[in-house]
């Protein structure tokens, strides 16, 4: 092993640790690695390391540009309300039972996800899934994980279904191979989607727990999401001098007293004997109905998120709602306090859920993230106003586009269809067709340039570019080939020559799935692709089936809520726990593994 290979391995390990710890944003970690690579490339006497020009050349890679263009096209279609109307149409299906409605929802979401970015399909589909679950008489938790899975299934059926497909195809082309055709990956993605859908429809009612969301039921029944809020006891309040239980707080009211602060200091007296005083601050955890009940207590107010003295909920602001932060929300990365949430939306944030955890105290200073679920309280008019917001999505209703946005739907739909058609018939490369489509929509006024730029996930773009640079370093230094040689060498003692190709295909797929469960799927496909191609070349085989295994495996993050971005969005919304994904997702991962190992060599022979 050369020192250059050792340096690259160290950078990969550093990036993986930072990605998992999340102390820095993913794109910042990528930029740090990229900067280190650039500095090393300028050292004198460095031979087997990419030159500065090679590293900077990654910004000319067509695959990320295509991903950016598809973000714009998908956003243009979503803002017209076309995705919402397509999903809402599912609500008109007759009463065919829970599994029947679940199947219809998954088929609808899967078909949409095959042709547009699957994340907006899940975000827009959340209220629809909750409504269908309510019609079926089952908790929304039975429908939301399947919604996420359906988006993944559909995304693996076409080149444009997900950014990892586009990126993997581009990396394949960079390696001197023919890029994937529009529907080529569907030869294996479609059978796997059918298998996955049938399994999920059968397994979801059996394996998923009954965890209700706020949008289903504000009644505070067992299993509903629990929120932590802060209440203030005022002077002359009837509860002054009473114990917590006598005042109406405690288990009988569906509340847990987390902490009592008196003059800013925690009270260590036993809570069952503590008598309330004016000015006491109570940190209370409970279901939404319990939180709302506090408003009915005379002389007790819920504190607004701003933390400013005297800023409490008014009597008319007694409507509760639950909303999720959108994937491209302008408020993402900024705290509730920084954006003056109450002034901006006319609503108070009572609590924040993130990845199954309740951010109780101090959440107003924590930067919001896409997928965060907020418990809001305010006037009915303010809540209804959120229906037109692209920053927050109400979980009990879909976003309503303006009349002008609706009017542009035919042009947007025709443009997207044309991009797919000319790419499928190989009249134009996908990157040219997608960019031309974006320009057409901006020129015709269907979407403003400012909106187009804002619709691109720029942190993801920088993550992709910088990870590609790390992949270039792995290839140039021989690090990827070093891993490939060792994996092939280890397999020699375990498998015969006849079984070695299929065994290595399985190993590559498994490694990809394991990494994507804890890492960004786009970073996974970039890091694993050089290794997969190296293994194929070591065995004297066609790299294509190995590349397809990487592309599919990087999207097959079914067993954890962080394995795929759509899982993260349904995590808080469904009130799930980490183990819920593992229970239903691990068998699905095994089904996908068997299916991929059987179907891929049949479509692309290992020769």
Q: What are phi and psi of 392, to 5 degrees?
A: -130, 135
Q: Is the pLDDT of residue 304 over 60?
A: no
pLDDT of residue 317: 46
CA atoms within 13 A on the CB side of 515: 26
606, 607, 605, 599: which is closest to 185 by C-alpha? 599
Kindly indicate the confidence band of residue 576, based on its pLDDT and cuts at 50, 70 and 90. Answer: confident
Residue 289 has pLDDT above 80, yes or no: no
Q: What is the pLDDT of residue 256?
A: 73
pLDDT digits (tens, 9 = 90+) for 123-150: 888 888 988 888 888 888 999 999 999 9
- Angle at 415 (CA atoms; ends 411, 417), nearest 5 degrees: 120
179: alpha, beta or left? (left if phi > 0; alpha if psi -120 to 50)? beta
From the list 282, 363, 355, 348, the residue with the least C-alpha distance to 314 is 348
Span 338-352, average pLDDT: 80
Tokens for 315? 């009597």
pLDDT tens-digit map of 368-391: 888 888 888 777 777 878 777 778
For residue 245, is pLDDT > 80? yes
Flag whether pLDDT at 492 surpasses 80. no
∠ CA(414), CA(419), CA(424), 5° rounding?
A: 125
Cβ neighbours, 10 Å, residue 516: 27
The pLDDT assigned to 306 comes to 38
Report the pLDDT averaged over residues 467-476: 93
Q: Is the pLDDT confidence value at 310 over 70?
A: no
pLDDT band at 354 (very low <50, low <70, confident <90, very high): confident
Q: Which helix (H) or strand (E) holds 33?
A: helix 26-41
Tell me whether domains 222-302 and 315-394 share a fold.
yes
Task: Check pLDDT > 70 for residue 427.
Answer: yes
The pLDDT value given to residue 495: 77
Domain chopping of the chain, boundaries: 222-302, 315-394
Map tokens 């692309």 to a residue. 604
Q: How does pLDDT run across 183-236, given as a tens digit for each residue?
A: 999 999 999 999 999 999 999 999 998 865 544 433 443 333 455 677 889 888
> What's the rounded Cα separation, in Å, for the pair 343 and 335?
14
Q: What percent of the chain has pLDDT over 90?
A: 46
With 0.85 as the threshold, say if the pTM is over it: no
Phi first, then psi, for residue 167 (nearest 5°) are -65, -45
Q: What's the rounded mean pLDDT across residues 345-370? A: 76
Burial of 524 (0-12, 13-18, 19+ CB in 10 A): buried
pLDDT at 358 over 80: no
How many Å apart are CA 208 and CA 558, to the nearest integer? 13
Q: What angle do CA 14, 17, 23 make, to 5 degrees?
A: 105
C-alpha span between 100 and 110 (Å, rounded): 15
The pLDDT of residue 114 is 95
* 449-453, 497-501, 529-533: least confident range: 497-501
Q: Which residues contact 274 (CB under 8 A, 6 or more apart)?
A: 243, 244, 260, 267
Pick the CATH number of 222-302 from 3.90.1150.10, 3.30.70.1450, 3.40.50.720, 2.40.50.100: 3.30.70.1450
CA distances (Å), origin 396, targets 144, 225, 450 = 13, 15, 29
Q: Please report the DSSP string for 245-258 in residue order.
A: HHHT-SGGGTEEEE
DSSP string for 439-494: HHHHHTTSS-HHHHHHHS-HHHHHHHHHHHHHHHHHHHHTHHHHHHHHHHHHHHTT
Distance separating alpha carbons of residues 515 and 518, to the nearest angstrom: 6
Rg of the chain taking only CA atoms, in angstroms:
26
Task: Give the residue among 170, 143, 74 at the shortest CA–CA distance from 115.
Answer: 74
Residue 471 has pLDDT above 90, yes or no: yes
The confidence score (pLDDT) of residue 14 equals: 93
Give per-residue pLDDT as tens, 512-535.
Answer: 999 998 778 899 999 999 999 999
Q: Is the pLDDT of residue 463 over 60?
A: yes
Locate all alpha helices (DSSP H) within 91-240, ordered by sequence.
Answer: 97-113, 118-136, 141-155, 163-174, 186-207
Domain 315-394 belongs to what topology? Alpha-Beta Plaits (3.30.70)
Structure tokens, 352: 């924040």
For Cα atoms 158, 153, 400, give the angle at the middle one, nearest 5 degrees: 90
Q: What phi and psi, each to the nearest 5 degrees, are found at residue 227? A: -120, 150
Q: Which helix (H) or strand (E) holds 353?
A: strand 347-354
Mean pLDDT (whole number) for 73-80: 89
């Amino acid at each position: 092993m050369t020192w250059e290979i050792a340096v690259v391995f160290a950078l990969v390990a550093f990036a993986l640790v930072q990605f998992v710890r999340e102390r820095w944003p993913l794109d910042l970690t990528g930029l740090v690695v990229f900067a280190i690579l650039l500095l090393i490339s300028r050292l004198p006497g460095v031979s087997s390391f990419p030159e500065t020009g090679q590293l900077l050349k990654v910004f000319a890679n067509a695959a990320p540009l295509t991903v950016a263009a598809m973000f714009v096209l998908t956003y243009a279609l979503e803002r017209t309300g076309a995705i919402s109307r397509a999903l809402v149409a599912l609500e008109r299906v007759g009463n065919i039972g829970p599994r029947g409605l679940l199947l219809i929802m998954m088929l609808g979401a899967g078909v949409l996800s095959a042709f547009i970015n699957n994340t907006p399909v899940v975000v827009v589909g959340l209220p629809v899934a909750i409504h269908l679950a309510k019609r079926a008489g089952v908790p929304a938790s039975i429908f939301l994980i399947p919604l996420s899975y359906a988006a993944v299934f559909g995304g693996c059926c076409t080149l444009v279904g997900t950014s990892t497909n586009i990126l993997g195809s581009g990396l394949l082309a960079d390696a001197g191979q023919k890029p994937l055709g529009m529907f080529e990956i569907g030869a294996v993605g479609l059978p796997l989607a059918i298998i996955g859908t049938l399994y999920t429809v059968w397994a979801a009612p059996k394996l998923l727990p009954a965890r209700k969301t706020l949008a289903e039921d504000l009644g505070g029944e067992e299993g509903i999401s629990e929120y932590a809020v802060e209440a203030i006891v005022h002077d002359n309040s009837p509860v002054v001098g009473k114990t917590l239980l006598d005042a109406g707080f405690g288990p009988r009211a569906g509340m847990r007293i987390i902490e009592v602060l008196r003059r800013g200091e925690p009270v260590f007296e036993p809570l069952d004997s503590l008598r309330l005083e004016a000015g006491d601050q109570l940190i209370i955890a409970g279901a939404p109905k319990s939180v709302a009940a506090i408003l009915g207590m005379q002389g007790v107010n819920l504190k607004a998120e701003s933390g400013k003295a005297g800023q409490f909920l008014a009597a008319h602001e007694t409507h509760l709602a639950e909303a999720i932060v959108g994937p491209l929300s302008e408020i993402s990365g900024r705290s509730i306090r920084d954006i003056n949430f109450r002034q901006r939306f006319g609503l108070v944030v009572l609590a924040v859920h993130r990845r199954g955890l309740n951010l109780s105290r101090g959440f107003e200073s924590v930067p919001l993230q896409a997928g965060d679920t907020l418990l809001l309280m305010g006037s009915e008019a303010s809540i209804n106003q959120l229906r037109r917001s692209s920053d927050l999505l109400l979980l009990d209703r879909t976003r309503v586009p303006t009349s002008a946005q609706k009017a542009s739907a035919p042009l947007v739909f025709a443009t997207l269809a044309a991009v797919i058609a000319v790419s499928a018939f190989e009249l134009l490369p996908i990157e040219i067709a997608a960019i031309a489509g974006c320009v057409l929509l901006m020129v015709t006024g269907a979407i403003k340039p400012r909106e187009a730029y804002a619709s691109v996930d720029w942190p993801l773009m920088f993550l992709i570019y910088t990870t590609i640079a790390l992949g270039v370093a792995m290839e140039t230094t021989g690090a990827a080939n070093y891993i490939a040689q060792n994996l092939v060498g280890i397999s020699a003692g375990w498998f015969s020559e006849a079984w070695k190709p299929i065994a290595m295909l399985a190993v590559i797929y498994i490694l990809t799935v394991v990494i994507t469960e804890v890492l960004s799927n786009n970073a996974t496909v970039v890091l694993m692709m050089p290794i997969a191609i190296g293994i194929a070349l070591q065995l004297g085989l066609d790299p294509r089936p190995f590349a397809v295994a990487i592309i599919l495996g990087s999207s097959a993050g079914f067993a954890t809520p962080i394995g795929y971005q759509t899982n993260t969005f349904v995590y808080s919304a469904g009130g799930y726990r980490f183990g819920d994904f593992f229970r239903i997702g691990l068998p699905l991962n095994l089904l996908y593994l068997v299916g991929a190992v059987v179907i891929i060599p049949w479509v692309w022979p290992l020769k």
